[in-house]
Amino acid sequence: MKFLRRASLYVAILALGVVLAYFFIIRSPASRVLDELLTHINDTQIISLDDYILPELCEDPFIRELADQNIIVGHRILNSLRMDNNDVKVNASLVSEYGAFDVGFVMTKVNNKWFISQFPRVIHIGAAVPIWVLDSGNKAIEYKIDVDGTHLNCMLPSSGNTMNIGMPISLILVEDYVVQYQELIPKRLYRIMSSSKDFIEDAILGYIPVESSLSIYQVANGSPSFLNKGILPIGIADVTLYHSPSNENMDLVAYIDPSKMPNDVIRIVLNDSDYQGLYHKEVSISSNQGAFVKNLVDSLEYSMGAGDKLTFKYDTESGTAVYKGDNLLGSSHNRWYILPKNGGNITVNSIKRARSRDSNGTTYRGNMEISSNQEGLVIINEVNLEEYLYSVVPSEMPVKFGLESLKVQAIAARSYAVRCFKSTGYSSLGAHADDSVSSQMYNNIEENPIAIQAVEETQGLIPVYDGNVIDARFFSTSCGYTSNFHETWSIDDVFPSVEVPYLVARPQFTGDAPSLYNEENFRTFINQKELMSYDQFSPFFRWSLNMQRQQLEAALYKNLSGLQKAQPQFVLTRGKDGSFSQLPIPEDIGMLQNIAVISRGQGGNIMELEITTTSGIYKIIKELNIRQLLKPVNLVPDEEPIEILRHDGSVVKDFSILPSAFFYFDIHRDTNGNISDVTITGGGYGHGVGMSQYGVYGLSLLGKTYTEIIEHFYPGTELHNLY
């Protein structure tokens, strides 16, 4: 009996403890406030949030993502703990459709009333990919998800639900617990014709708006891995696009198969006849064998005969209209495809190139496409990569340089083209590259049998470094020394940039030279006009010109401000404290007082130039800015054109850009100390990085093979076959 009485006493004490705990936890003012809010979390219209949370939390993700959404379907207050600052932390068990999980809330007392001052962390992830799962048999299942290359761990409360590995989802996390997820909806894309941050164009589905950023994953052996965030590769086939269940243009994830990337077909956007722009007011097309004209999205198709000529015109309302004479065949806002019959060629009658100024247009291999936007018509030539090179090689290098030199050019041009497959510069137009010097000159010179032979005998060969296709930069003529990539080009607005091990400064003659960082050494080097350089046969191997002070001032007035607007971080103004910053260029440049080289690269190229005028001191950074600033074009009325005297004695007038940044100044002053004129003495033509085309020619004359020449200009690389 005594034992029973003692047991009854223990039970009574325990019951009392439970009651007291319940009173403290549930009925304490702080806990009661939280309990009331969670009770009405899905019906906040009948309560005022101002009675429960601090004003600054009105836009907290806990409220924004969960309130009124029926995601939290139940709760239970667990306990509370007073904190050092007299706040109270209240722990609660929340229940979603996947099960229960425990989180904490912080309560703060203001004017004798308790408010929630900190919610559990809530994250809404629009697009993620589950990549790993561990079912430990415990209360929750642990997942690893990939969000744009970042891996996060999360828990799914056990309720029989599982997330499919590799299937893109959107989800909401409370702390690390999944409280809601939805699988994104797959949509098959047949072939990507153009792409930008605002749209994706599919060959069959047409234009798909993009309202949020696109996450791109490549899938190998069924396993997705994050590739990048941005723009789909042009020309790739069989893409799976995943989108939000509620919005086809939001929370986008694309799965691509690397094997579907193009490697033997390139897409070129064509400039107008004068290379002044990529948009055309009107396009005239004909074909020597006739062609099929198709619009795949709108299921339109026409046939043109060998003697037919079609005209494409743009209209803001109807899109691109196709005419045969005065007869309208059809119109569409979607892309038109012109496919030649029987292996024929397409002639763009409205484009006149150097070789065809007086002819009926320019003829192209491959297919043509016409699309349009508010700027006008866009012409795309899709052509086999090797056939593309048939025209690039003679357009970029004189065929008189011989077969071995043309083989080197073919390899470098092929490497450049292959890297363009992954470039996004022309993606919004649907191209990998254009047909000008902005990419590679294409179809400006007629195909030549020796150039075709050079392409065919190097078919598929590309230089590779560390497993990657190299950035095969090339230019016309060196001054006898090439330059380092990082001392010539910027990357992400950083200059000097990252060193590239195969694009390094090297002598282009047998032997070496003193350090060309040094101004006097460089001057001595450039003055060696008889240097036995591989580039000595170029007319631009050495050159000089003279500009009157007024001509230089006119060039500064015309060019300096524009250069700063285009690249403000590389055209700087010295402030009163002596430091340089991006201060605006004054309208009145003033009188030129001095020009000074601040720094050179290892190959002697000017990296920084300082211009002093009566209005200020300006620093111009990078070789192209320097060359564009000092364009040797006369802008002074009644003055003669500016002449460049070249190595072979020839003269060119009012050249469109300073030939190179490998030069020095001789400044001449009058009796008052004012500049009267400046002589510029230099060497080479082009940026100076990588392969010198005249250097290739010189090495070929010495009996070097194309493989030896590639190794010389791109040291450490190996030739692999693309196919």
Q: What pairs with residue 580 in β-bridges?
A: 574
268 pLDDT above the threshold of 80? yes
Q: What is the pLDDT of residue 524?
A: 96
Q: What is the pLDDT of residue 241?
A: 97
219 pLDDT above the threshold of 50? yes
CA dist., res. 132 & res. 141, Å (int): 11
Q: What is the pLDDT of residue 345?
A: 94
- Give the least confident one: 183-192, 219-228, 549-558: 219-228
Strands 433-434 and 265-269, sheet pairing: parallel
Q: Does residue 272 contact residue 284 with C-beta atoms inside 8 Å?
A: no
CA dist., res. 47 & res. 213, Å (int): 37
Strands 474-475 and 691-692, sheet pairing: parallel
pTM of the model: 0.86
- Which residue has better confidence, 7 or 187? 187
Q: At 137, is the pLDDT very low, low, confident or very high (cuts 50, 70, 90)?
A: low
Q: Does residue 536 contact residue 579 with C-beta atoms inside 8 Å?
A: no
117 pLDDT above the threshold of 60? yes
Helix (H) or strand (E) holding 525: helix 519-526
> What six digits make up the tokens of 457?
């005998």
Mean pLDDT of 625-646: 96
Q: What is the pLDDT of residue 24?
A: 43
Residue (of 298, 305, 296, 280) closest to 375 by Cα position: 280
pLDDT for 374-384, tens place per residue? 899 999 999 99
Radius of gyration of the chain (CA): 35
Q: What is the pLDDT of residue 80?
A: 93
Mean pLDDT of 513-527: 94
Q: What is the pLDDT of residue 138?
A: 65
Q: What is the pLDDT of residue 27?
A: 61
399 pLDDT above the threshold of 50? yes
CA dist., res. 662 & res. 623, Å (int): 9
Q: At 19, is the pLDDT very low, low, confident or very high (cuts 50, 70, 90)?
A: very low
DSSP string, 560-611: HHHHHHH-GGGEEEE-TTS-EE-PPPPS----EEEEEEEEE-TTS-EEEEEE
Mean pLDDT of 234-257: 95
66 pLDDT above the threshold of 90? yes
Q: What is the pLDDT of residue 220?
A: 86
SS3 call for 215: strand
Q: At 16, is the pLDDT very low, low, confident or very high (cuts 50, 70, 90)?
A: very low
- Find out whether the peptide bond into 496 is cis, omega within 30 degrees of 0: yes
CA dist., res. 208 & res. 197, Å (int): 11
- Which residue has better confidence, 9 or 321? 321
- Which residue has better confidence, 283 or 357? 283
- Give the least confident one: 356-360, 533-537, 602-606: 356-360
Q: What is the pLDDT of residue 445?
A: 87
CA dist., res. 685 & res. 679, Å (int): 18
Q: Does residue 443 contact residue 434 with C-beta atoms inside 8 Å?
A: no
655 pLDDT above the threshold of 60? yes
The CATH number assigned to the domain with range 2-116 reads: 3.10.450
Helix (H) or strand (E) holding 14: helix 2-25
Q: What is the pLDDT of residue 355?
A: 60
> What does the angle CA 707 – CA 713 – CA 718 come to, to the nearest 5 degrees?
45
Domain residue limits, the chain: 2-116, 122-183, 185-260, 267-465, 473-713
Q: What is the pLDDT of residue 261?
A: 87
Q: What is the pLDDT of residue 354?
A: 72
- Which residue has better confidence, 108 or 135? 108
Q: What is the pLDDT of residue 134?
A: 85
Q: What is the pLDDT of residue 3?
A: 47
Q: What pairs with residue 286 in β-bridges?
A: 309, 347
Task: List strand residue ranges (DSSP E) for 589-712, in order.
Answer: 592-600, 606-613, 616-621, 643-646, 651-653, 663-669, 675-682, 691-692
DSSP string, 391-445: HHHHHHS-GGG-HHHHHHHHHHHHHHHHHHTT--TTGGGT-SEESSTTS---SSS
Q: What is the pLDDT of residue 25?
A: 44
CA dist., res. 202 & res. 238, Å (int): 10
> What six digits make up the tokens of 509?
């003659």
pLDDT for 271-298, tens place per residue? 999 999 999 999 999 999 999 999 999 9
Q: At 255, is the pLDDT very low, low, confident or very high (cuts 50, 70, 90)?
A: very high
pLDDT for 26-40, tens place per residue? 468 999 999 999 999
Q: Does residue 410 contact residue 418 with C-beta atoms inside 8 Å?
A: no
Of the chain, the percentage scoring pLDDT greater than 70 comes to 95
Q: What is the pLDDT of residue 315?
A: 86
Mean pLDDT of 84-90: 93
4 pLDDT above the threshold of 50? no
8 pLDDT above the threshold of 80? no
Mean pLDDT over all residues of the chain? 92
340 pLDDT above the threshold of 60? yes
Q: Does residue 646 contact residue 652 with C-beta atoms inside 8 Å?
A: yes
Q: At 506, is the pLDDT very low, low, confident or very high (cuts 50, 70, 90)?
A: very high
Of the chain, the percentage scoring pLDDT greater than 90 comes to 86
Mean pLDDT of 255-266: 91
